[in-house]
Each structure stands twice: as C-alpha cells, then as structure tokens.
Chains A and B, each alone.
Chain A
Amino acid sequence: MTEKNTNDIQKSDAANGNVSDEKKIVVPGELLMETMDYLPGKNCFREGNAIYAKKLGLLRTSGRVVEVVPVSGVYNPEVGDMIIGVVDEIQNAGWVIDINAPYTAFIPLSGVREFIDTNKTSLNQIYAAGDLIYGKVMMFSPSKSVHITMQDPKAKKFTDGRVVRINTTKVPRLIGRSGSMISMIKDATKCFISVGQNGMVWLKGENEDIAIKAVQMVEEYAHTTGLTDRVDAFLKKELGSRPAKKESPKESFEEYSKESASNEEYVEAKE
C-alpha cells in the first residue's frame, strides 16, 4: 500500500462525523483533559474539572464526548446480540451455554423451535455438551441471568465447519463499516461466516483456511491504519485476482448485512 492511500484513509476516517483519530493509548486513571467543555463518555469519569480514563484503550472524542474504546476484555451480553456459544452443561429445564462472558447463558426449553416432551426426548438429542450454537440474547436480567433464544430465524446449531475465537473488542473491526470487512472476506473466499458479538466466529467453505487467516489478521491488525487494504491484499495474494464473487449465497449475504446493522448499534450503544 502506498503512502498516499494511507493518507486518504486517514482523511476519510476523520471526515466521517468529527471523530478523532483513535490512536492514542490511555491507561486507567490517566488524566484525559481538564475542562468542563467535554463530557465523559464510555470508560471515562469526571472528578472536578478533570476527565480520567477508567479502562485501557484508545482515546476517542466525538463531538463533545470523550471516551475510551477498549482494546481488551470479556464480552458483555446485550439483548438482541447474536452470539456463538458452546453447550457446557445440560440441566432439566434447558442448556447452560458458555459465551465467554461474566455469566454463563441459558437456553430454556421454551427457547428452542422444537416442542420437547421431556418424557420422551432426552435434551442432549437437541443440543449435546460441546455443541456450538448461534443464538440471540433474549434476556439479560438485573439479577444477571442471560437467556438465549434459538427461535430467531438466524439461530442454528452448527453441525460442521470451523470456529475461531477473537477478542470481542475486535468484532466491530471484523464486521467493518456497514459490514464491509466481513463482506469482503466472504465474497473473496466464498465461505459462509457467522460472527458472534462475543468474538466467536464460525466459518465454512472450500477456502475456510484462508478465511480463518483473514479473520485472525483482522484481530492482529485491528488497530492499525489501512486494515482493509491489508486484508484485501492478503486475500488477493492467496486466492489470485479472481473477480469478486457474485453468486455468494443470497441468504447468507442478508444474514450479515443484518449483522452489520446490529453491529453499528453495538459500536454506538455498547457500555
């Protein structure tokens, strides 16, 4: 990538809604500014005139709000998030799911599409320990119960394919603006990809090894400039300069455009 391109990207980033270039790393307790002209946003707090960081991350100001974009940490569930979890335990009334969050999640019997007569069906015929599921966070109660529903049209149990885990803070980068990054990877590799907001990524397709490398590349270089070009160059190098795929499965395309829409909310509303 040429230097000119880098500059272009930086410019377009800055032009997009008065958001500062998020490259400055701040640490907990660090003084960010001493002014009443700004408001402390996510991961910041005020004491007197001063605004301090309360998390390790990248400093960002948008408008008059100053915030810290986290670079590490575990997933915090939010109602409506699509997550990928692993069945950890089977109980009488449902399944306990590990979602790499402060709380394990639960799929109640009412959360699955099938009607289950527990007199006739063993629950592990539906989901067994170690199964990977793609579900929607339906409830996150004040008493910290997380319930997942599999009745969402997108929800499913994965029966094959691959899974990789990235840090949840890198998920917005993997999806990209309006789903641009994940679309690029899917189009180039012709893989089906589902991204859980909790950082679990499921992939399937003939080029899944390349798709996995691309996903890991997004994680590794998440905070660098020119990420899109870097991933694009990698995909072209690995797959040759074949034209962008047109016949990528329609259903799956819609799937991630929805994901990217919900991702925009994620970026704005998280914490």
Chain B
Amino acid sequence: MARKDGRKADEMREVKMEVGVLRNADGSARVQIGKTIAVASVFGPRELHPKHLQDNEKAVLNCIYMMAPFSTTERVRPGPSRRSHEISLVTKSALEKVVNLKDHPKAVIDVYILIEQANAGTRTAGINAASLALADAGIQMSDLVTSIASGKVDGEYVIDLSGDEEKITGCDLPVAYLPRSKEITLLQMDGDLSKADVKGVLKMCIRGCEKLHKIQVDALKKKWEAETSK
C-alpha cells in the first residue's frame, strides 16, 4: 500500500541533520524530518543556580522542549504548556541514561529544544537533535540517542507518521533507542493495538532508529572532518 505522500510503509520522510548551528551554545544541532524542524542547543556542564536544585551526587540534566509560536498552523502561546512540560520530562528520561553526569556533581547540563516548525514527530526530532548537540558539546556519552515514531494506518504498520497521517490514525508510538546497547529509553503510545501490533510497530521504530543513527554519525563526522581537512 502506498501512503498518502507516496512513501513505503517503512520509509521515513527526508531527514537532514546539521551539527554546530548556533555559535553561543557549547553544542548545537538542527534536525529536519519532513516538514518538522527541531533545533537543540546545549550549555554546560555549568554551575546550577539556585543552589537548592543542585545534586551532590551528579550533574542535573535539564531539558526544555518548546515550540516557536509560529511553528504550527495555529499560533502557539509562548511559554510552557502542560504538553511541553510532559515532553520535556520524557525527553530528559530518553537522554539521561547515556550522559555521564557522575563527573560533575552540583553542575547542570542544559538542553534546549526549539521546534521551529511542527508537522508530527516533534518530540522525536527534538531528541535526535539533542543527542547530536550533547555530543557536539563534548559531553561524555555512552551512546547516541535516536528517536522515531511508528503507528498503524489502515491496518498497516507505518513509520514516521506525517501530520496528515496523524490525523487519520489514532495510533502513534514514539520510541527512543540506543543503537549500541539496543535499549529503549522513550516509549509512549496512544491508540488501540494488540500485543502483536505493539511488537510489530516497535520493531519498525527500531529499524528506523538504526537508519537515523547512521545519519547522526555522518552529521557529527562531517563537521569535524571539515575541521581537520581545511
């Protein structure tokens, strides 16, 4: 079955990744998946204020997800919403396992994710960008983090739902995946699926994440290979 935009079931929208896009940040990246554009900037580890937020055992990973007011068809009110709070939280949970926080107790690593344009899959695009920005910032990590959603449309598993597809299906399952250790650090779902369906959709996400990982590695190497061959 061909999808509305002509893609195959396991075909992601066009993916573009670029590392080192913002000068003031310690690390940054822009990830474009179809019409969804996410920019991540990372600062730190740096001193955390106010002091009562400090953790004496490890650094705090602070993740903030936000949408530009003009990123969607209807204007988004600036400032945090219930939705953005939740996405910030699951983003932090998706990233924290791979980040070495032990070496910098009391400090903070700030990860800011701005959705410049939204067309489904903003949290997963944001996680891909954040992972690149963390690596670019020279943060110790045991792995990169890759992320994509899959779902079921017209009885078939499909990867990387577009905005149009999201509207027709009630089923969406975003995943973050660690390509080296093959573990899952983000798992959400809404819809109505059998156990077998969940398994099928998850497998599709993982195959997608493996592809995204290659693109991430290329983006990181591209920046630094350019640095060594000037």
Contact = CB atoms under 8 A, between A and B. Distances in A.
Contacts of A169: 138
Contacts, number: 96
Contact of A223 (B45, B100, B227): B227
Interface string B193-219: 000000000000000000000001100
B140 interface: yes
Contacts of A57: 138
A130 interface: no
A70 interface: yes
Given A73-B26, A74-B138, A102-B104, A27 B144 contact: yes
Given A74-B46, A224-B229, A28 B135 contact: yes
Contacts of B44: 74, 102
A29 B179 contact: yes
A30 B107 contact: no
Contact of A55 (B26, B140, B216): B140
Contacts of B216: 27
Contact of B142 (A29, A31, A73, A74): A29
A72 interface: yes
B180 interface: yes
A72 B140 CA distance: 11
B138 A55 contact: yes
A144 interface: yes
Given A29-B142, A55-B140, A103-B107, A74 B230 contact: no
A24 to B, nearest CB: 9
Contacts of B140: 28, 43, 54-55
Contacts of A220: 230
A45 interface: yes
Interface in B9-44: 26-27, 44
Interface size class of A (residues with CB under 8 A): 20 to 34
B49 to A, nearest CB: 10
A28 B142 contact: yes
Interface in A239-261: none
A72 B107 contact: no
Nearest to B19: A56
Given A29-B143, A45-B142, A103-B107, A73 B137 contact: yes
Nearest to B20: A72
A56 B142 contact: no
A contacts with B: majority SS:
loop
Contact of B224 (A31, A71, A74, A101): A71
Contacts of A55: 135, 138-141
A220 B230 CA distance: 9
A70 B138 contact: yes
B107 A29 contact: no
B230 A104 contact: no
A23 interface: yes
Given A29-B143, A54-B140, A102 B221 contact: no
A244 to B, nearest CB: 27
Nearest to A45: B142
Given A54-B140, A54-B141, A102-B46, A23 B228 contact: yes
A76 to B, nearest CB: 8
Interface string A212-227: 0000000011111000
B28 to A, nearest CB: 11
Contacts of B225: 25
B29 to A, nearest CB: 12
Given A55-B138, A103-B107, A28 B227 contact: no
Nearest to A50: B180
A159 B26 CA distance: 29
Contact of A144 (B106, B217, B220): B106
B98 interface: yes
Contacts of B224: 25, 56, 71, 223
Interface of A: 23, 25, 27-31, 43, 45, 52, 54-58, 70-74, 101-104, 143-144, 169, 220-224
**A-B residue pairs, 4 tightest by C-beta:** A73-B138, A29-B143, A72-B138, A28-B141
Given A25-B220, A55-B139, 7 more contacts: A25-B224, A27-B217, A28-B135, A28-B141, A54-B100, A72-B26, A74-B26
6 contacts: A25-B220, A29-B142, A52-B142, A55-B138, A72-B26, A74-B46
